Structure 1
Amino acid sequence: MSESPTIPTTPTAGGAPASEPVVPAFSVLNGRDVLALLDGRERETIDRVARAYLAHEAGDTVNPDSYFLRFPQKPEARIIALPAYLGGDVEIAGLKWIASFPGNVASGLPRASAVLVLNDFATGYPVALMEAGSVSAARTAASAALAATTLGGGNPRSVGVVGGGVIARTICRYLAAAGVPLTEVRCHDLDADSATALADHLRERYGSEAAPAGLAEALDCDLVVLATTAAKPYVPADTRLRPGQLVLNISLRDLAPEILFEVDNVFDDVEHCMKADTSPHLAEQLSGGREFVTGTLAGVINGTVTLDPGRATVFSPFGLGVLDLAVGHDLYRRAREEGLLVELPEFFGETRRWPSSV
């Protein structure tokens, strides 16, 4: 059953509603409350992401291509629209509108900012607008932690993190919550201060033996997290990943495409990943086919995809809008229960199809 609000009507014998239709309230949820609702619920968020992946694999979602708004004068920046529908026991539609402006980092601002709109599936009415930079980071980190525990085949002795931003920090939090040990962590970033800040954070929060490291040292770890803003591959084609090694290819464009021909390649959605010059997209163009594709994470979870233990595994998630809906819907539901929503009762200008005077 859907937990989203609907517009109740009572039909008459002639088919017209006999009572006044009720327009659902439109509400806002601010970023401070989003963070509070997410805090300490990492395992629940991972579970919701897993269920969303399985619903997507079963065809119980609608997840169109993301739309990229780019700017000639700012080629590094973009704003992305991710519309989606998530069925099952959720039944919610919506849109994440997320900006990625790497230039923000130099002034101390986070690279990404976002909002999430939720639409009632029964009526189509928007029912909520929430700050979604934290939602996006949480669903990305939950996806990474799910992949680490599903594909890792055991606890890694070492973790290499390439990229020292908000996403990397959040992924580490979710890895720890999922039981992945952060005992030995090697942090690499082109900005040495970012790598040092991440290492300091991991030592203070998790007691990790964390330290800044070179790229080769980070890539040699049992579990590698790629969380950069790279626009094109920089990890060279002659890099060889060893059997049992797991690479979470979160930023999607770090690896030379040739590397993917020698590993098991697992995706969140194959079609979505084969675009926008991601490493898998470049591999498809280079090889002329998709023989390098192993399957999806949901396929591994439900047992229809088997990994080769003699190979490394690379998980490449394009990032599905249905994951934002899964996390956002739960936040909306709990915010209603806890009285955290700010309702705007007169948000919709017209609440009747015909005015009563007509």
Structure 2
Amino acid sequence: MKNAKINFLYLSEPDMIKAGVGDMVSCVDAMEEMFKLLKIGDFRMGGPNGNSHGVMVTFPENSKFPNMPKDGPDRRFMAMPAYLGGKFDMAGVKWYGSNVDNKEKGLPRSILMLTLNDKDTGAPVAHMSANILSAYRTGAVPGVGIKYFSKEDSKVVGIIGPGVMSKTALAATIAVRPGIEMVKIKGRSAKSIDGFVEYINVEYPQIKDIRIVDTAEEAVRDSDIVHIATSSTTGDINDYPYISEDWIKKGAILCCPAAARFDDDFILNRARNVTDNIKLYQAWEEEMEFPAYSSIPIPAVHCMDLIKEGKMTSDQVDDLGDVLTGKIPVHRNKDEIIIYSIGGMPVEDVAWGTIVYHNAIEKGIGVKLNLWNVPELA
């Protein structure tokens, strides 16, 4: 009988840090390579279209079962499976539970784990803490867009929503645009603002000009790069953070990994709309009840709704992968304003997780665990 023994590597959060999960320069490079693989089709995600964000378990507002969780803000479980080819050549799934009430227990809103699997046998090769991994790949995705679309002499960054997403997005921004001199911060609470200021002071002491602003308009005006990453209830699009065209500097890029709202006239006639993976937004349009933007508050989802209504054409939305592979130009017009929608995909977790896993193997980091020596039911 052939050797059927299976061991896999367990990586705790401290292990992940030792293995370089916080190396933003490498993470941006990994995301860029991942986008190129997406464009040529060397990947698979869930759903019948192979581009689904994942499958979600949600809960009812009320249940006859007393132990069943009840619906609430960000209360869900989600599995995000993917395969990514190229140099990664790995399958995996990110699994997480999310609940806003976690903060009262001193826990993050979402608690994430990533399992990497052998592409042929399905055997686990690694099981790793994924909160920091997910945060860094989330920040690195806008970093790729900023690398290509923002002006090389960008100096000013606007932050709307100074949370974890914006911290790693700022890290990616500085990784690709090291000449940043000013950061403007619009937040809801003194705690989040103070935490963001402290983060900048510790991680990027070269940035001396940090300004706390009272409005989104102040954060956007004169900024070369804007990150909009606020938590927002879905359902009523009028509750989404609104950005007026009049506030936006010519040639700016606005990174939107969360809720954001712009005037339709601007979207249809003057903005350049760019997605991280247009097929992801097409999948959401298929999966969600129309209008999908009421459930998924990212601007490109609204573009899909407009296309469905016949108000917009598909060639008015560009895909980042087409830029990276040279199919379309980096810039279509001088001083164009970029609305860059970022949806989040499990191929990103598999890409960065695979690199961190190989780093851990090379450095002897982690704990080897045994699944079995001989499978009992083979």
- Asked if TM exceeds 0.5, the reply is yes
Find the aligned partners of 1:103 and 1:353 in 2 and give their Cα distance.
41
Match of 2:232 among 227, 230, 233: 230
Match of 1:316 among 341, 353, 362: 341
Deviations 1:37-90 (A, max 9, x none): 226632112111111110011000002211122223333123322110011122
For 2:280, the equivalent position in structure 1 comes to: 272
Superposed counterparts of 1:291-310, under 5 Å: 291=313, 293-306=316-329, 307=331, 308-310=333-335
Superposed counterparts of 1:273-292, under 5 Å: 273-274=281-282, 275=284, 276-278=295-297, 279-286=299-306, 288-289=309-310, 290-291=312-313
If asked which structure has higher relative contact order (CA below 8 Å, sep 6+), I would say: 2
Q: Determine helix, strand or coil for the equivalent of 1:123.
A: coil
Q: CA deviation at 1:34?
A: 0.7
Q: CA deviation at 1:178?
A: 2.4
Matched, 1:341 2:348: no
Deviations 1:266-311 (A, max 9, x none): 1111121242433322333245245264321121122212332342
Q: Determine helix, strand or coil for the equivalent of 2:210.
A: strand
Find the aligned partners of 1:139 and 1:69 in 2 and give their Cα distance.
23
Superposed counterparts of 1:92-103, under 5 Å: 92-103=90-101
Q: Determine helix, strand or coil for the equivalent of 1:199.
A: helix
Find the aligned partners of 1:177 and 1:195 in 2 and give their Cα distance.
22
Single out whichever of 66-75 and 311-320 deviates more from structure 2. 66-75
Unaligned stretches of 5+ residues in structure 1: 1-18
Find the aligned partners of 1:247 and 1:150 in 2 and give their Cα distance.
13
Superposed counterparts of 1:5-20, under 5 Å: 19-20=1-2
Find the aligned partners of 2:202 and 2:132 in 1 and give their Cα distance.
22
Contact residue 95 and residue 321 of structure 1 kept, 8 A: yes
Find the aligned partners of 2:195 and 2:59 in 1 and give their Cα distance.
31
Q: CA deviation at 1:343?
A: 1.5
Q: Given residue 296 of structure 2, which amino acid in structure 1 is its aligned partner?
A: D
Find the aligned partners of 2:73 and 2:21 in 1 and give their Cα distance.
31
Q: CA deviation at 1:100?
A: 3.4
For 1:131, the equivalent position in structure 2 comes to: 129
With structure 1 as the length reference, what TM-score do the two structures score? Answer: 0.85
Change (3 A) 1:282 1:40: closer
Match of 1:245 among 224, 230, 252: 252
Find the aligned partners of 1:147 and 1:159 in 2 and give their Cα distance.
14
Single out whichever of 203-212 and 331-340 deviates more from structure 2. 203-212
Q: CA deviation at 1:162?
A: 1.1
RMSD between superposed Cα atoms in Å:
2.3
Q: CA deviation at 1:217?
A: 0.9
Deviations 1:2-21 (A, max 9, x none): xxxxxxxxxxxxxxxxx523
Q: Determine helix, strand or coil for the equivalent of 2:254.
A: strand
Q: Determine helix, strand or coil for the equivalent of 1:303.
A: coil
Larger Rg: 1
Contact residue 203 and residue 210 of structure 1 kept, 8 A: no
Contact residue 237 and residue 256 of structure 1 kept, 8 A: yes
Unaligned stretches of 5+ residues in structure 2: 47-51, 61-69, 285-294
Change (3 A) 1:190 1:333: same
Find the aligned partners of 1:43 and 1:237 in 2 and give their Cα distance.
30
For 2:179, the equivalent position in structure 1 comes to: 181
For 2:267, the equivalent position in structure 1 comes to: 260
Superposed counterparts of 1:97-246, under 5 Å: 97-105=95-103, 108-207=106-205, 208=207, 209-213=209-213, 214-220=215-221, 221-232=223-234, 233=237, 234-236=240-242, 238-240=244-246, 241-246=248-253
Deviations 1:169-223 (A, max 9, x none): 1222222222343311011112232123212321343232112212111122221
Change (3 A) 1:135 1:282: same
Contact residue 175 and residue 181 of structure 1 kept, 8 A: no
